[in-house]
Structure 1
Amino acid sequence: MAGLRVLDLTRLLPGPMATLHLADQGAEVIKIEDTGLGDYARTMGPGAAQASAEGKDSPFFRMLNRNKKSLRLDLKQPAGVQVFLRLAAEADVIFESFRPGVVDRLGIGYEAVRAINPRIVYCAITGYGQTGPWAHYAGHDINFIAMSGLLDQIGTPGSAPAMPDFQIGDLLGGCLTSLVGVLTAVMGAKATGRGSHVDVAMADAILAHSVFPLLATQTPDGLAPRGEGEMTGASPGYAVYPTADDRYLAVGAIESKFWQTLCTALGLPELATTDMTNAAEMKHAREALAMVIKTQPLAYWKKTLVPLDCCVTPVLRLDEAVNHPQFIARQIIVNETGLTQCAPPFKLSHWPQTERRPAATAGADSAAVLQAVGYSADEIETLRRDGVI
């Protein structure tokens, strides 16, 4: 993506993760923060206090902002707006995550930029989008997955909804969905010279990907209660089972060949013909599997079932996952400047991964970024003196 210039006005997780993917593939990403607190992520997350004591940004910030340039800019000053528009005139993509209308009030919205750069792709990431009765409401990941019906489906029968330690709305919705929209629009801009405003609502994205729950609502039985759906606990071939040492085994033996292999290995060949449409038979099979699996520790099942290739895996803790031979072989985990993080989660055969540069300190590239669009040293010094940068 060398040659793609991206202006990133976003903070925290969704937008910075999206622009991280672009930066890792060679795009020039200029992270623009205000001259006050800037991106709150610099002081948030596990390890932030220790990092601050050492004069560093938080691990959370450093993990999401490698390979980016940093510019501090006061967009509440007219001179700051002019700096932004000058940068935008030569940019390909802009990401922002303010509430609807904020960028327009600042004078840097899509229409203002399109007037000077018709090919701009301008992506707005919000919780509920630019339109609709909830457009101006604030929210976080828990709110978006709650509104879209996902949170209600996570958990065990009779329990309260379980909060996942994975920001599904932020990452599926705010990050990956925005990238699909942006790259679609970038291709269109290259072909026609006309860019696009990309309106991404994280709640929309979750709902749009809720394939099986949405299908279930259109069946005579409707959507199953929490923890009782075909993919959430009712099926014995797609479930989580406790082991003797209070660990867990994940079974995904949906296809009959995998289910038959698993039943035979567990000494339960009679269950191989279980009718997976009969609730009573499924319940009996699940209880039988649970009794057998509970007799041995996780290490035993890893040794005996995983090699059979019947879609059975241990439920690993994250500290175990990052040290697993599979992920090590894939080189997905990297440790740079004392920070364990993930490399891009895909491999391109013709373009090896680019060199990774650590996240920049706030405003570290301000002068270089402005020089690249024609500002003189005297002009930059004036902007700095006036608190614009």
Structure 2
Amino acid sequence: MRPLEGLLVLDFSTLLPGPLASLILAEAGARVVKIERPGRGDEMRTYEPKVGDDSVNFLLLNRGKQSIALDLKAPDAISRLRPLIERADVLIEQFRPGVMNRLGLGYEAVRRMNSSLVYCSITGWGQNGPKADIAAHDLNYMAETGVLGLSVGADGAPVLPPVLAADVAGGTYPAVINILLALKQRDQSGRGTYLDIAMGENLFTFMYWGLGNGFAAGAWPHAGGELVTGGTPRYHIYRTADARYVAAAPLEDKFWENFCRLIDLPQEWRAASAPAGEVTKAVGAIIAAKSAAHWRALFAGQDVCCSIVATLEEAVNDPHFAARQVFAHRLLANGRDLPALPVPVVPAFRSATSHAPAPRLGETLDPLLSI
């Protein structure tokens, strides 16, 4: 039995943070019912590329869920939703602050229908504060919390991150963590609660080392000058002769000594007292003289904490991830069988049934029939 079997989740969210949160809950056994706009549905459905009528992004994020098409502004919307709300365990919404209140579905209104409901709101800046109503995307959250300012290229300009860290790490994961904590608390008190998840502020957790340096010593970090921002040759990315890259992280002395020996770094550059910038240049020149294949073979089986930077295609086909069955679960979509999105739920808590489709818009005509 999956740990969330029997739980009903109502998901009013769209795009990424909320749908990924409800996907994780669904993978652990919860029944998730998406409440979508008639005609268009979740905006993610329209993205490219598509597999059939819906985008592959939507299909990956909504595997194993159900869908109701309902105009939340319709006069009878609340009365139609009431039976679901009264029996739900979790509600997830991702509108701007105040929208659910205006629809008559704010926490206080819903709590009067179901006092044991865990109500989770995911927004960029939270429900209150000077930025609460400001529109933003992942890049903005990283820009305004100092994360982007520490991620720079060789020219000193910030680099566009390839991952949506605020959406996933600042939104989805804190939402799931707090939903589970709230459900545990409900087991003890019998009461539900309201969760205010703010994606922007949750990024500060990832800057713990910079916060510590700044708060304790007044030494606020800067790009290119810290342990993990390019300030040491022991945590750096080096270009190879064939325009690939070595991600080198031999931070501890034992790894650094092995690394220096394998690349035959001259002794004068190995000491901790050697100028970091000069050592980085020396290491870079050595790495640049040989191909990625050479360095991959040289570092294989050695304790050096060095990797060849992989493409996403190479990573997906890595034998290690195949052995771990990372892509063992499947997604049925328009007659196609695709790998499902990996989620951080251990196999023991997931269904043994590996195939599940995403819902068509409004396909669940009466979700109460089989609850």
- Normalising by the smaller structure, the TM-score range is over 0.9
Secondary structure at the residue paired with 1:10? coil
**Would you say the 8 A contact 1:29–1:68 is kept in 2?**
yes
Shift of the alpha carbon at 1:292? Answer: 1.1
Q: Which residue does 1:44 correspond to in 2?
A: 47
Residue of structure 2 aligned with 1:294, choices 285, 288, 301: 288
1:355 maps to a residue whose letter is S
Q: Does 1:71 align with 2:68?
A: yes
Residue of structure 1 aligned with 2:310, choices 316, 319, 344: 316
What do the CA deviations read for 1:311-343 (whole angstroms, capped 9, x no partner)? 111100101100111111111124543434433
1:371 maps to a residue whose letter is L
Q: Which residue does 2:127 correspond to in 1?
A: 130
Secondary structure at the residue paired with 2:307? strand
2:179 maps to a residue whose letter is V
What do the CA deviations read for 1:218-267 (whole angstroms, capped 9, x no partner)? 36572343222210111111111100100001011111111111111111
2:311 maps to a residue whose letter is R
| CA distance, structure 2, for counterparts of residue 18 and residue 271 of structure 1 | 52
Q: Which residue does 1:347 correspond to in 2?
A: 346
Q: Which residue does 1:371 correspond to in 2?
A: 369
1:27 maps to a residue whose letter is A
**Would you say the 8 A contact 1:331–1:343 is kept in 2?**
no
Q: Which residue does 1:213 correspond to in 2?
A: 210
What do the CA deviations read for 1:160-192 (whole angstroms, capped 9, x no partner)? 211111101000011101111111111101111
What do the CA deviations read for 1:87-139 (whole angstroms, capped 9, x no partner)? 11111100000011111111111111111211110000000000101111111
Q: Which residue does 2:360 correspond to in 1?
A: 361
Q: Which residue does 1:56 correspond to in 2?
A: 53
Secondary structure at the residue paired with 1:342? coil
Q: Does 1:164 align with 2:161?
A: yes
| CA distance, structure 2, for counterparts of residue 136 and residue 111 of structure 1 | 20
Shift of the alpha carbon at 1:284? Answer: 2.3
| CA distance, structure 1, for counterparts of residue 119 and residue 345 of structure 2 | 25
Alpha-carbon RMSD across the aligned residues, in angstroms, is 1.9
| CA distance, structure 1, for counterparts of residue 176 and residue 346 of structure 2 | 17
Residue of structure 2 aligned with 1:99, choices 91, 96, 101: 96
Aligned length: 363
Task: Provide the TM-score with structure 1 as the length reference.
Answer: 0.88
| CA distance, structure 2, for counterparts of residue 151 and residue 350 of structure 1 | 35
Q: Does 1:258 align with 2:255?
A: yes
Task: Provide the TM-score with structure 2 as the length reference.
Answer: 0.92
| Mapping for residues 236-251 of structure 1, pairs under 5 Å | 236-251=233-248
Gaps of 5+ in 1: 374-389
Structure 1 residues 73 and 372: alpha-carbon distance in aligned structure 2, compared to 1, 3 A threshold: farther
| CA distance, structure 1, for counterparts of residue 80 and residue 22 of structure 2 | 21
**Would you say the 8 A contact 1:31–1:70 is kept in 2?**
yes
Q: Which residue does 1:328 correspond to in 2?
A: 322
**Would you say the 8 A contact 1:24–1:354 is kept in 2?**
no
Q: Which residue does 1:305 correspond to in 2?
A: 299
Secondary structure at the residue paired with 1:186? helix
Q: Which residue does 2:198 correspond to in 1?
A: 201
Q: Does 1:5 align with 2:8?
A: yes
